[in-house]
A and B are shown apart, each in its own frame.
Chain A
């Protein structure tokens, strides 16, 4: 079942903050976050495995709610290099190997 990402797109000025959400109707094994720049491969940002978990990666952090049905990616003091499409990928019942990706959120950071 494909997770739902929101918003579909967001435009920021450098230094502004953004939140990208990823939700599912059922509990998840895991949530992955990837960023893909135009014409490039998706690049791993972080993975969350436990309900209530929060993780940080420089000015990019993420949380996984207690019920393990929603994750949010937080980008603070955005930089031009943050521009790209952000995907959440979710692992859920039945397979340890399969990630199902959301439709992506296009983030544009302008000077």
Chain B
């Protein structure tokens, strides 16, 4: 049974398009995250939600909009895609007391390529 799942695994699209990535966790965790890993493997947090409430919003272009319909799901919508958005996007989750104090479980990642 997959703990954190993401769809799609690969996403290839043209500049200017809008796309979404979906994430679901079945661990019963209250906190979910989106990370971006660039070509140099730098893993950087973008957003975090705790029980559907946005708690971390790093310096991310407002073309990126997370949405959490319930605590088991966290989706990422990206408008007007740019070449620099090409990266692997990881979803993760952790227990309620916070990702700084608890193991984070990562999804398999979505490789986004913008042409």
Residues of chain A whose beta carbon lies under 8 Å from any beta carbon of chain B: 29-30, 32, 36, 40-44, 47, 49, 85, 87, 89, 91-92, 95-101, 103-104
Partner of B55, one of A29, A32, A97: A97
Task: Name 14 A/B residue pairs within 8 A (Cβ), A-sorted.
Answer: A30-B100, A40-B108, A41-B90, A41-B107, A44-B104, A95-B100, A96-B97, A96-B98, A97-B50, A97-B56, A97-B100, A99-B104, A104-B41, A104-B43
Q: A101-B43, A101-B44 are in contact. Are A44 and B105 (CB under 8 A)?
A: yes
B103 adjacent to A47 (CB under 8 Å): yes
B106 lies within 8 A of chain A by Cβ = yes
Bound CA–CA A44/B48 (angstroms): 18
Bound CA–CA A99/B31 (angstroms): 13
- Knowing that A41-B107, A103-B40 touch, tell me 19 more A-B residue pairs with CB under 8 angstroms: A30-B101, A32-B104, A36-B41, A40-B109, A41-B106, A41-B109, A42-B43, A42-B90, A42-B106, A96-B97, A96-B98, A96-B101, A97-B50, A98-B99, A98-B100, A99-B100, A100-B45, A101-B44, A104-B43
Residues of B within 8 A of A29 (CB): 100-101
Q: Please report the total number of B residues contacting A with Cβ < 8 Å.
A: 26
Q: A97-B48, A103-B42 are in contact. Are A49 and B101 (CB under 8 A)?
A: yes
CB contact list, B19-40 vs A, under 8 A: 31, 40
Bound CA–CA A65/B106 (angstroms): 27
Residues of A within 8 A of B48 (CB): 97-98
Interface bits B85-115 vs A (CB < 8 Å: 1, else 0) = 0000010001001111111111111000000
CB distance from B5 to the nearest CB of A (A): 11
CB distance from A42 to the nearest CB of B (A): 5
Residues of B within 8 A of A49 (CB): 101
Bound CA–CA A43/B31 (angstroms): 17
CB distance from B20 to the nearest CB of A (A): 20
Residues of A within 8 A of B106 (CB): 41-43
Interface bits B51-68 vs A (CB < 8 Å: 1, else 0) = 000011000000000000
